Amino acid sequence: MSKRIRKVIREMKFDNKGFKKALLTFAVAGAFVMPASADSWTIKREKLPEPAQEMLTTYFPKAKVSSIKIDKHLLKKTDYDVKLTNGTKIEFDNGGKWTSVDCKKKEVPSELVPTVVKNYMKKNLSDQTIVAVKKNTLSYEIRLADGRELKFNLLGQLQKSSTTDEELASDEAEAEEEV
């Protein structure tokens, strides 16, 4: 036992019975907390749910798995974080459905981008490529190659743009300077 721990124990003046009780309480609590958030690492695709394996084979057939992090949560189901050797990161839920794909500087396979988002991009930002996509229950978030982040509702309507807000602020500042 370290000197610091011994000092704390002496200062607390636990009697033998109280100390044992406190120690037992911490040991039991630790036994439940530690395995509840245990993560494991592997490079074997077979450790992923079947839909996740199929998604990797379909959209990233030549890419090799660099690592798979299996997140086991206490109250939440298991998540899978996959890193490919080309730098792509993909997150899967417990059922093996992808929740986010981040290809860094490369384009996300177009089949993974919702049609409503592709239509918006074709009409408004045809010169840009999508390098990351994340799907939530009520929205899609995408990141473009130029760094802009866009959020769409399920109908494909733009809800938020990180650059649009910044551009509006800078345009207003410029307008005030001219006055």
Average pLDDT, the chain: 79
155 vs 99, residue with greater confidence: 99
Tokens of 70: 């299996």
Q: What is the mean pLDDT of residues 101-124?
A: 92
- Would you state the pLDDT for residue 165? 46
Does the predicted model carry a pTM greater than 0.75? no
| Side chain identity at residue 40, one-letter code | S
| Side chain identity at residue 6, one-letter code | R
Closest CA to 88 of 60, 118, 49, 129: 60
Q: How confident is the model at residue 5 (pLDDT cuts 50, 70, 90)?
A: low
Give the Cα separation of 26 and 35 in Å (integer).
15
Local structure of 24: helix, strand or coil: helix
- Give the DSSP H or E segment for 151: strand 149-153
Whether pLDDT at 164 is above 90: no
- Would you state the pLDDT for residue 4? 64
Q: What is the mean pLDDT of residues 113-142?
A: 92
Q: What is the mean pLDDT of residues 93-104?
A: 93
- Would you state the pLDDT for residue 150? 95
Whether pLDDT at 174 is above 80: no
